[in-house]
Amino acid sequence: MNRRNFLRNTGFVAAGSLFVPAFMKPLEAMALDELSLYKNLVVVQLSGGNDGLNTVIPYGNDIYYQKRKSIAIKPEEIIKLNDMQGLNPNMAALQEIHDQGWMTIINDVGYPNPDRSHFRSMDIWQTGSDSNQFLSTGWIGRYLDSNCQTCKFPYTAIEVDDSLSLAMKGQTKKGIALKDPAALFRNTNDPFFKAMLQNDKEHLDEDNLGYLYKTMIETSSSASYIQNTSKIYQSKSTYPNSGFANQLKTVSKFISSGLKTRVYYVSLSGFDTHVNQIGQQGNLLKQYSEGMAAFLKDLKSNNKLDDTLVITFSEFGRRVEQNASNGTDHGTANNMFVFGGKLKKQGIFNAAPNLSDLDTGDLKYQLDFRQVYGTILDKWLDVNNADILNKKFNTLDFI
Amino acid sequence: MIAKDNFFKVKHLYNRAGFGISYTDLEKLSKKNLEKTVDRLIETSQKDDPIALVNDYESKRQLLAQAGLYSKKDLTDEEKKMRQQIVREQNEVSRDLNIAFVNKMINTDAPLREKMTLFWHGHFACRNNNPFFAQQLNNIQRANALGSFKTLLVEVSKAPAMLQYLNNQQNRKGKPNENFARELMELFTLGRGNYTEQDIKESARSFTGWMYDKDGSFIFRKNLHDDGTKTFFGKIGNFEGEHIIDIILEKPQTAQFIAQKVYKFFVNDTPNDAHIKELATTFYNSKYNIAAMMKKMFTSDWFYASENVGTKIKSPAEFLVGLSREFYVTYNKPQVLIQLQSSLGQYLFNPPNVAGWPGGQSWIDSSSLMLRMRIPSLVLNDGEIDFSGKADPEDEAVIALSRTATSNANANNKPKSYVNANADWPKFLNTLPKGLTPLALTEFLLQPKLNTKITSMVSDNKGLRSTAVEITSMPEYQLC
């Protein structure tokens, strides 16, 4: 959105100040003393189905080389993490992160009866549903619904994007999507927008109209809060020049300026590498790793790394065997990355994928992705995971 | 007074049953008996005018070529190029098909039929990369939009788009695939909790062999059909697909389930059991005649009750179509319609899953509301908009192919685009009576009752055009 005013040629001028209903007041008056204890979760989505086997490469397993004649990464190029697995050479930036103990790789995360459609599988990951279940709320959205202490504010969950993902939408509460806090602030301070909110107490109890006004008030209030809290902060770190790194830079700015946001959501797309995968995936992994390394070091220098947990997922992994176009087709289980300053288990969390025990050419999952979510909900966001995931999932010991 | 009362009723009827009404038509119809107006609305929507965008012959040629390429193991470079070319062409035609549907809703003179088509489009939600299949399903939904639900259900079930989407193509004797059978009951007819897992298993067996052949026509493959005895809802027989559909339709629960969905789409997000029961009874007793149920709804007093007027959140399609129709908008770059649908969360032909769009308050979050409130000034005053949002997951392969090393760094900085649309202001203003005040225009454009804030914002010394842009930018305009 790139217009200074809502309306052109209408000559609309607002008068007076913005009316703030009583229930929004505490927002501005929140105590600042708990800020240092504030724990953040950052969710990174790799869209398109990242090929996990060429990301964390099982170079110690001959089957990998047999099944991927033209796209396998040579052992001497791999950044070895143990005798079995190592990172794609484009992920060199993460070597230092790994060596610092800020990184854990969880192998073979998936779910029963996997779906190979991008859309459906992304839906499943974002809602946390079973594969034959359709939910219209996301897992983070339901966390917002759960009445956690600060969840009443939409900025509790921020997606650095133009539109809000399903993951961030709850039944009664939703996160907020913004790419540029200053732009949102300008838009909500447009005279027309402010005039609409003025003296509008009477609509708040009406059902849908009240909901629209409540959303406007919350947007306006959140935009002011986010802008005013973060505008003074200047990052001293340098980030690589990519859209993805810019998103992370914005997240770092929010975290480091002490925004009371608990969940951040960013995404990087283009991973659907059916054709000539090596170059394409390599570029994306490089962007991902360099952005992530800059981000984590930035957080460390601001003393925020211990309060931050970052997870990375993709809607599915890819088939073990490559296709005839030097690419890979849609598969099932995949690895997840976890980053943070206080990981309980560092390096590689569980056994490498078993390439000889496949389900019609696809990896079998060892861990349900909802165990990962459940662990984060229980141990990091301090809610009971059964309340959010609709049934109890056993937690894991990575945090 | 009676005419004024009728004025608001007809306006409400055309907003819900169609995509709005011009002032000229509204004035005319306000003078008539409301029941006659409902009859006229149904009458004018009798005409079925299918979308004929996708070329049948060309699509069949592509299908055959694709089938040939898929069966080969090692493709030559030439063949790979051919395969990519087909996919590219299909994606392009799919976008054109989307725009054709939107334009049809904007320009139709059978508004109820198009509105019902939109309803069935969400009810029988389906994604298919093949635009010929997608068009065919859309036309089935349009042709039967107001007719027999049974015919609609059977035709949808046999449509290649649905056979493929819900994997009935893989549903074979001895190796049943239950996807279609499950969604048939859970989402298309009975609703969750009204059948057993055993009913799903048995009905899946009955639908084995329902497939489409390689030139895209339905075919019942007897040799892949499980002709053994099945037990479905306590009945025993050598059932085939049609029998299963008949048994499902014998259950009043199916009429109840559809009536509830129709009520939530046309009347109110919050179900009213008594009103839904009335609709379900009419529907069931008329042997699932859709028009009969719709007439019952539009002639019921409760349809015009204040809690049902101006209280529903427009879907993105209703919002975009309504705005474009009201102001005779031409999109010089129709692609923008797709970007708007996608940013607002309702990309037609691309529902989030087989359950369709959840609707209601789920349309609205801070970013979608901010965008909605800006669109009227962008569309009506030709503004600029920045579409750098996330890609549709189905486009990921295209993105992966088209990105080069150098463009990667700027992958998230897509260029801004102008909406590049023209409203026909003279035509719009011409539909309004002479001397219409800005306040009266506001009363016409908004569905919710006016309150003091709005009346004070709309002053009489502003022109009608400015007033119109202002009104359509209000949160109240999001309701119908």
CB contact under 8 A, A47 and B74: no
**Domain spans of chain B?**
316-404+415-478
Contact B94, B134 (CB under 8 A): yes
What is the secondary structure of B386-407 as a DSSP string? Answer: ----PPPGGGHHHHHHH--HHH
Q: What is the CA radius of gyration of chain A?
A: 22
By the 10 Å C-beta count (0-12 exposed, 13-18 middle, 19+ buried), B52 is classed as: exposed
Q: Rounded to whole angstroms, how far apart are CA atoms B169 and A166?
A: 30
Q: Rounded to whole angstroms, how far apart are CA atoms B312 and B63?
A: 42
Q: What is the pLDDT of residue A30?
A: 42
Tell me if residue B168 falls in helix, strand or coil: helix
Nearest to B247 by CA among B159, B160, B185: B185
Instruction: Quote the minimal CA–CA distance from B424 to chain A in Å.
Output: 17
In the predicted model, residues of chain A with pLDDT beneath 70 are 1-37, 149-150, 199-205
CB contact under 8 A, B412 and A1: no
Tell me the chain B residues in contact with residue A161 when contact means C-beta distances shorter than 8 Å.
Answer: 389-390
Nearest to A326 by CA among B167, B401, B295, B461: B401
pLDDT digits 0-9 by tens, A202-221: 666 678 999 999 999 999 99
Buried b (16+ CB within 10 A) or exposed e, A235-254: beeebbebbbbbbbbbbbbb
CB contact under 8 A, A242 and B409: yes
All domains of chain A, ordered by start, with CATH? 39-179+241-389 (3.40.720.10), 181-230 (no CATH)
Nearest to A161 by CA among A276, A262, A250, A54: A250
Q: Rounded to whole angstroms, how far apart are CA atoms A328 and A50?
A: 10
Tokens read off for A83: 């005798």
Write down how long chain B is. Answer: 480
Q: Rounded to whole angstroms, how far apart are CA atoms A147 and A388?
A: 11
Residue B17 pLDDT > 90: yes
Q: Rounded to whole angstroms, how far apart are CA atoms B445 and A345?
A: 61
CB contact under 8 A, B374 and A275: no
Question: Is residue A247 within 8 angstroms of chain B, CB to CB?
Answer: yes
Question: Is residue A326 within 8 angstroms of chain B, CB to CB?
Answer: no
Tell me the chain A residues in contact with residue B380 when contact means C-beta distances shorter than 8 Å.
Answer: none
C-beta neighbour count of B173 within 10 angstroms: 16
In A, minimum Cα distance to B364 occurs at A212
Q: What is the pLDDT of residue B431?
A: 96
In A, minimum Cα distance to B413 occurs at A243
Tokens read off for B310: 């101006």
Instruction: Quote the minimal CA–CA distance from A46 to chain B in Å.
Output: 11
Tell me the chain B residues in contact with residue A3 when contact means C-beta distances shorter than 8 Å.
Answer: 374, 377-378, 383-384
CB contact under 8 A, B400 and A271: yes
Question: Is residue A124 within 8 angstroms of chain B, CB to CB?
Answer: no
CB contact under 8 A, A10 and B127: no
Contact A116, A332 (CB under 8 A): yes
Tokens read off for B314: 């427009």
Nearest CB among A8, A163, A209 relative to B479 is that of: A209
Contact B458, B439 (CB under 8 A): yes
Q: Rounded to whole angstroms, how far apart are CA atoms B27 and B8?
A: 10
Contact A144, A222 (CB under 8 A): no
Q: Which amino acid is at B456?
A: S
Nearest CB among B345, B370, B466 relative to A11 is that of: B466
Q: Rounded to whole angstroms, how far apart are CA atoms B63 and B70?
A: 10
Nearest CB among A9, A163, A271 relative to B390 is that of: A163
Tell me if residue A396 falls in helix, strand or coil: coil
Mean pLDDT, rounded, of chain B: 90
Contact A282, A237 (CB under 8 A): no
Name the DSSP letter for residue B289. Answer: B
Q: Rounded to whole angstroms, how far apart are CA atoms A341 and B52?
A: 59
Nearest CB among B370, B397, B473 relative to A187 is that of: B370
Instruction: Quote the minimal CA–CA distance from B40 to chain A in Å.
Output: 31
Q: Rounded to whole angstroms, how far apart are CA atoms A158 and A172?
A: 16
Torsion of CA A146, A150, A155, A159, to 10 degrees: -50
Name the DSSP letter for residue B478. Answer: G
Q: Rounded to whole angstroms, how far apart are CA atoms B178 and B171?
A: 7
CB contact under 8 A, B453 and A200: yes
Give the helix, strand, coil percentages of chain A, each rounded to 5: 40, 15, 45
Q: Rounded to whole angstroms, how far apart are CA atoms B309 and B302?
A: 10
Q: Rounded to whole angstroms, how far apart are CA atoms B220 and B197?
A: 25
ipTM computed for the complex: 0.90
Instruction: Quote the minimal CA–CA distance from A180 to chain B in Å.
Output: 12
Minimum mean pLDDT range among A232-236, B18-22, B244-248, B371-375: A232-236
- Average confidence (pLDDT) over B329-334: 93
All residues at 6 or more sequence positions from A209 whose CB lies less than 8 Å from its CB, including other chains: A203, B311, B448, B475, B476, B479
Task: Work out the angle at residue B270's Cα, subtended by the Cα atoms of residues B267 and B276, and round it to the nearest 5 degrees.
Answer: 60
Tell me if residue B461 falls in helix, strand or coil: coil
Minimum mean pLDDT range among A233-237, B146-150, B304-308, B473-477: A233-237
